[in-house]
Amino acid sequence: MSNGTVSLWNGEGRRIHIQEVGTRDGLQAEEAFVPTEDKIALVDALSATGLAKIEVTSFVSPKAIPALRDGEQVMREITRVPGVVYSALVPNIRGAERAIDANTDEFNLVMSASESHNLSNLRMTRAQSFAALSEVSALARQAGAAVNVSLSCVFGCPMEGDVPEATVLDWCARYIEELGAGGVTLCDTTGMAFPTQVAALTRAFRARWPQTELTLHFHNTRGLGLANVMAAIDAGADRFDASLGGIGGCPYAPGASGNVCTEEIVHALALMGYDCGVDLERLVSAAKRLPPLLGHDIPSQIVKAGRRLDLHPRPADFEAIRERALGRA
């Protein structure tokens, strides 16, 4: 194969931006309510790692997602680190008002590229979602906040199957060109993305909107998470969502992995020579806070196995083994 491909595996200091979504996409799926002060401490620990962006919370109805009912307080009381973007999911006008009150840097607007998924999940048609999010976007602009749009199911819908690339790009066009969204996140909501498709969609997006901030959001549901990240980098992407500890599941695949794990992605990319700007040791320390907060183990393989060069001692009887072996020579 082409020698040009060598460079994909040699990052040579190229910058990759890592965005934490565990505090929103992860915690919203948890049964346990994580106390507000622990959420704040967790975001503050994440802010100190060098992550580019943190999705702090979701301003959805507290009745719909009680786990994040303290969104305003968390967003207000975290310690903002200059350079880090603090975003939140904002589904509607009421949420926008709360997000503005809490001084949210960036509004993350969510809609599905699949009509069936949008109706099932948000109880609106995609056209209705677009209309509602247009109003949210206008409020964000007035308040001076940035707007990012997360399109769910762009790599496949668990009910409809493949979602045509043209459909995905049409919705991107409406948000970027009609609404003026500054960023788009292409979300693999249920882990259906595969590298061939990821490379093609990333390349198509990048060619059409070279100035728009593009994020890829992968789930590791079928074990393809890191391979999809590499295919996206190969096609020109440099910004990825990931979830601390790998928390955040998939309702369609009980027991399977959810979001790609932040410390696994950072560990892997750092080994390949990419610059994520993230202090892996601090990141792993932050991940280790999760099990006691959540009351259960986390998927993170790096928390379980350690980093590549976290070495182990030789067996206690190693010298005796060696002497016996050499005695046989």
Catalytic residue numbers, as ranges? 250
CB contact set of 68 (below 8 Å; sequence gap of 6+):
24, 27, 28, 57, 58, 60, 62
Element (H, E) at 213: strand 213-217
Q: Count of CB atoms within 10 A of residue 21's CB?
A: 31
Q: How far apart are the first and last CA of the chain?
A: 46
Specify whether the CB–CB gap between 278 and 46 falls below 8 A: no
Cα(23)–Cα(57) distance, integer angstroms: 6
Nearer CB in complex with a second copy: 180/306: 306
Specify whether the CB–CB gap between 124 and 151 falls below 8 A: no
Cα(91)–Cα(61) distance, integer angstroms: 9
**Phi first, then psi: what are they for 259, rounded to 5°?**
-55, 150
Cα(41)–Cα(263) distance, integer angstroms: 18
Nearer CB in complex with a second copy: 80/222: 222
Nearer CB in complex with a second copy: 144/304: 304
**Closest distance of CB 138 from a second copy, Å:** 20
**Closest distance of CB 258 from a second copy, Å:** 10
Specify whether the CB–CB gap between 70 and 37 falls below 8 A: no
Q: Identify which of 108, 112, 187, 110 has the alpha carbon closest to the alpha carbon of residue 148.
A: 108
Tell me which amino acid residue 49 is: T
Specify whether the CB–CB gap between 284 and 263 falls below 8 A: yes
Nearer CB in complex with a second copy: 166/311: 311
Nearer CB in complex with a second copy: 48/159: 159
**Closest distance of CB 133 from a second copy, Å:** 15
**Closest distance of CB 36 from a second copy, Å:** 30
Burial label, 290 (beta-carbon count in 10 A; 0-12, 13-18, 19+): buried
**Closest distance of CB 318 from a second copy, Å:** 6
**Closest distance of CB 263 from a second copy, Å:** 9
Q: Identify which of 48, 55, 81 has the alpha carbon closest to the alpha carbon of residue 243.
A: 55
